[in-house]
Structure 1
Amino acid sequence: MRDRQVSRDARRAREFEAFVAGAAGRLLHTATLLTAEAPDASPRARRLLTLALAHVYARWDRLRGEDPYDCARQYLATRFARATWHQYVAPARSRRPDPGNPLAALAPQERLILVLRLYEGVAEEQVAALLGLPMERVRTICDRATSAVLHPAGRSAARAVGAKAVSS
């Protein structure tokens, strides 16, 4: 009986190691895009990845046909969304994105939706369900974020006009 348990644990470890070897790079890139950190200095992204992989490992035996990558990506997205919410409610420490990153100008929710939709290829309906938003809202946020990344001067000009209108 003990040998069977050891064998099962060893198989589980090998399967998980194979999953990590294949998926960790892309998941780290996704986390780095979400946090808008520089790729070579991304402590928040690495922490998100570590938490997501730990979550998948804890559920590994119960996945039963579920895609472990999808499970990790969902956890990564919800953990990022929750962390940014807590950042605004009670800012504990400075979280500054890399100023050279084009995604740094986006709000965290815009970044999350843009990364899930365009980089990860997650369907609009799935993003809406994951974040608890209406599909139309997800579409609008994605369109606005895409426009801001493709035309950054237009976004800063719109902010300047908005700031002048408020100050008048």
Structure 2
Amino acid sequence: MRERRAFQNARRAREFEAFVAGAAGRLLHAATLLTTEPADDNPRARKLLTSALAQTYASWDRLRGEDPYDRARKELALRFARAAWHQHRGYGGVLRHLGPQERLILVLRLYEGVGEEQVAALLGLPMERVHAIHARAMALVLHPPRGPAPAAPLGDAAALEEVPS
């Protein structure tokens, strides 16, 4: 009995290691997009991914035909959504102008290719709300808000005053 359990644990560990070897890079990239951290310095994204993978491993035996990547992505998204209120703004990149919910929906829809219905079900939002948030996020990414206009140098203002009318 002990040998059988040890064999099952070893098989489970090998299966999970193979899954992580294939999926961790893409999931880390998704987490990095969500946290808007630089790709080479992303401790929050790594922590988010580690937590999601740990939960996926804990439920590995109960997947029963469910796609482990889908489970890990779902766990990553839910963990980000639960912790998003701690993060008010992004750090950089094209998604920095988006709020956490907008980033989450945009990353799930565009980067991960998750359908609108699935995103709505995952986040517990009406599909119309997901559609509206996605549209607003796309608009902000394609047309980011501009900063304030630069102030005119003092020399130029003085030169304008000297011009006779």
TM-score where L is the length of structure 1:
0.84
Q: Deviations over 1:145-164 (max 9, x none)?
A: 11111111xx347xx7xxxx
Displacement, 1:97? 3.1
Displacement, 1:3? 1.2
- 2:17 counterpart residue number: 17
Q: Deviations over 1:106-144 (max 9, x none)?
A: 111100000000000000001011111111111111111
Structure 1 or 2, whichever has the larger Rg, is 2
Moved segments of 4+, more than 3 Å = none
The 5 A counterparts of 1:1-168 are: 1-85=1-85, 87=86, 97-99=90-92, 101-152=93-144, 155-156=145-146
Alignment coverage as a number of residue pairs:
148
Looking at structure 2, the residues matched to 125 and 5 of structure 1 have their Cα atoms a distance apart, in angstroms, of 40
Looking at structure 2, the residues matched to 41 and 52 of structure 1 have their Cα atoms a distance apart, in angstroms, of 19
Output the amino acid matched with 1:148: L
Please identify which structure carries the higher helix content: 1
**CA-based RMSD:** 1.5
**Where do 5+ consecutive residues of structure 2 fail to align?**
149-165
**Conserved? CA contact 2:89–2:97, under 8 Å:** no
Identical columns (%): 70
TM-score where L is the length of structure 2:
0.85
Looking at structure 1, the residues matched to 137 and 78 of structure 2 have their Cα atoms a distance apart, in angstroms, of 19
Looking at structure 2, the residues matched to 80 and 36 of structure 1 have their Cα atoms a distance apart, in angstroms, of 12
